[in-house]
């Protein structure tokens, strides 16, 4: 535990750099250049000092030096710009992820709750879009900074949340944490109405992705093609809603608990697609009627 505390302490030094207003001003002024092309992202020493000291006086060189090599880099021309790490940190701060947020309802009735069929609402609080019903059954939680609430309509926010959720779901099934890029591991649990429920958790930071098994099949080439043949774009299906409308269904049967394996059937308009799902390894494969393998999508975490 002591080693963990030391490791955390060693990694928080970058935040100490931003406890001074002059240093914050340096990062902010260089961040304002990020929208320009690569050659236009830097500022000369004199121009950077002029812009920063116009808002906060102080020993400019003294505050610039500790930023170099971590958040700021000096180019061969002698000008200054943010490093890639500096640009990432600046984007997180500019987005407002760490500002206090009041609870705000973004959209009502974005679909039925998979547990109780009550309407799901999309609400924003503390940097999260939370999709849940009145009974507090959480169908999805998606990081979304407050700045996006000011720039997007309710429909655009739901569309953005759908895209982000699909991206994260695809990553965690392939063994990659969408936040720290650590290794994720899948487990099989009992979900609503005793139906199988899949959770992927990062071994490094503990971030989890969860949902019905069908959610993790939507990027399989065979599923994408199957839905496309029936006029459905898999990318537009919100992971928190019923995966298939108009009489379609995705049914999952537990084949093995250890290791966790499922057989999933996608049914739509009289047609059926059957896939095997190795939950721990994150692998899905097309199967024939008897369960024989007919192709593997490769998975990602190696089990």
* Secondary structure, 3-state, 217-259: HCCCHHHHHHHHHCCCCHHHCCCCCCCCCCCCEEEEEEEEECC
- Name the nearest CA neighbour of 214 among 173, 257, 158: 173
Whether the Cβ atoms of residue 64 and residue 20 lie closer than 8 Å to each other:
no
- Name the nearest CA neighbour of 157 among 178, 128, 134, 135: 128
Peptide bond into 259 cis (omega under 30): yes
* Per-residue pLDDT at 55: 55
CATH code, 9: 1.10.10.10
CA distance 260 to 251: 16
| Residue 175 belongs to a domain | no
Q: What is the total count of domains within the chain? A: 2
Domain boundary among 45, 79, 95: 95
* Per-residue pLDDT at 182: 93
| Residue 160 belongs to a domain | no
Domain boundary among 50, 65, 95: 95
| Residue 125 belongs to a domain | no
How many other CB atoms sit within 10 Å of the CB of residue 43? 20
| Residue 132 belongs to a domain | no
| Residue 44 belongs to a domain | yes
How many other CB atoms sit within 10 Å of the CB of residue 5? 9
Structural domain for 273, as ranges? 213-296
pTM of the prediction? 0.77
How many other CB atoms sit within 10 Å of the CB of residue 177? 22
Token pair belonging to 64: 């610039």
Domain boundary among 95, 129, 164: 95
| Residue 156 belongs to a domain | no
- Name the nearest CA neighbour of 214 among 169, 160, 172, 281: 169
pLDDT along the chain (303 residues), means of 10: 58 83 91 70 89 72 91 92 91 80 82 83 86 87 85 89 91 91 90 77 86 87 92 87 67 90 91 93 76 54 48
| Residue 104 belongs to a domain | no
* Per-residue pLDDT at 303: 39
CA distance 231 to 226: 9
Query: How would you list the strands of the sheet with 208-211, edge to edge?
Result: 184-190, 196-202, 208-211
Would you list the DSSP string of 127-160? TEEEEE-TT--EEEEEE--HHHHHHS-HHHHHHH
Paired residues of 39 in beta bridges: none
| Residue 255 belongs to a domain | yes
* Per-residue pLDDT at 273: 93
């Amino acid at each position: 535990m002591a080693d963990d505390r030391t490791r955390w302490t060693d990694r928080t030094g970058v935040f100490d750099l931003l406890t001074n207003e002059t240093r914050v001003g340096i990062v902010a002024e260089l961040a304002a250049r990020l929208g320009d092309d690569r050659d236009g992202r830097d500022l000369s020493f004199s121009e950077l000092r002029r812009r920063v000291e116009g808002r906060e006086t102080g020993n400019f060189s003294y505050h610039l030096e500790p930023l170099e090599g971590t958040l700021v880099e000096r180019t061969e021309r002698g000008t200054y710009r943010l490093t890639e790490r500096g640009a990432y940190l600046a984007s997180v701060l500019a987005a407002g992820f760490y500002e206090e947020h009041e609870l705000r309802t973004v959209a009502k009735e974005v679909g039925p709750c998979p547990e109780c069929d009550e309407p799901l609402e999309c609400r924003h609080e503390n940097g999260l879009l939370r999709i849940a019903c009145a009974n507090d059954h959480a169908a999805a939680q998606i990081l979304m900074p407050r700045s996006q609430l000011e720039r997007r309509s309710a429909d655009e926010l739901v569309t953005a949340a759908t895209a982000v959720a699909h991206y994260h779901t695809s990553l965690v099934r392939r063994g990659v944490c969408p936040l720290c890029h650590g290794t994720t591991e899948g487990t099989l649990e009992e979900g609503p109405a005793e139906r199988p429920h899949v959770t992927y958790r990062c071994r490094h930071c503990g971030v989890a992705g969860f949902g019905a098994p069908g959610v993790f099949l939507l990027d399989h080439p065979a599923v994408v093609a199957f839905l496309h043949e029936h006029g459905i774009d898999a990318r537009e299906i919100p992971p928190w809603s019923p995966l298939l409308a108009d009489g379609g269904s995705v049914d999952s049967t537990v084949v093995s608990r250890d290791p966790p394996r499922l057989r999933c059937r996608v049914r739509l308009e009289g047609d059926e697609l059957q896939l095997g799902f190795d939950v721990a390894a994150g692998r899905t494969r097309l199967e024939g009627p008897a369960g024989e393998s007919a192709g593997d999508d490769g998975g990602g975490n190696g089990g």
